[in-house]
Chain A
Amino acid sequence: EDQVTQSPEALRLQEGESSSLNCSYTVSGLRGLFWYRQDPGKGPEFLFTLYSAGEEKEKERLKATLTKKESFLHITAPKPEDSATYLCAVRRRNTPLVFGKGTRLSVIA
């Protein structure tokens, strides 16, 4: 059974304090690892897809990396507007996404 575990459950940072969110997964035949951002009362918003170990993608202050067992979402010099829940999801071949429980990030000015 596919499993996705995100840590920590919640993270509180000062503005400018860089950190990383972790997503560890157990899935045979990974066909993509996805990161989403979710704001309160909204649907998840797509950020990145990673397909193979060693791959990295960046968007503004966010950088996602992938190994064979886990992915990291690095947040560099975060701002209060980066506060959100970050969701990780995995997909095997031609199957729907399986999501982790998310990490709730708060960035304090």
Chain B
Amino acid sequence: DAEITQSPRHKITETGRQVTLACHQTWNHNNMFWYRQDLGHGLRLIHYSYGVHDTNKGEVSDGYSVSRSNTEDLPLTLESAASSQTSVYFCASSESLSGELFFGEGSRLTVL
């Protein structure tokens, strides 16, 4: 079965360190998204991509970057982790621009 996987599922890091969260999907979807989920804020869009070499900023993109070198992967990088970036991060993909999103299981990041 096709799926979307995130790694690591849990990570603890220190302020100022670079962190990369991986997202890999086997549906061959062109559209991929990163959201963060925090109590009181719901899901907020960080970055998204509509295809290889395409990346776009979302609502809360400061301090994050993505790159899309192939269809299957959209890694999310925190260049210098901050405590405010402690959150649960979800990757998602969709087949079409109008279709539903399929989510991964999430990556819980703690920045100390």
A residues sitting closer than 8 Å to B (CB atoms) are 31-32, 34, 41-46, 49, 87, 89, 91, 94, 96-102
Contact = CB atoms under 8 A, between A and B. Distances in A.
Interface in B37-80: 40-45, 48, 58
Given A32-B98, A96-B48, A96-B58, A44 B90 contact: yes
Interface of B: 33, 35, 40-45, 48, 58, 90, 92, 97-98, 100-106
Contact of A43 (B40, B41, B42, B106): B106
A43 B103 contact: yes
A85 B59 CA distance: 22
6 contacts: A43-B103, A43-B106, A44-B90, A94-B97, A96-B48, A100-B42
A102 B45 contact: no
A52 B66 CA distance: 34
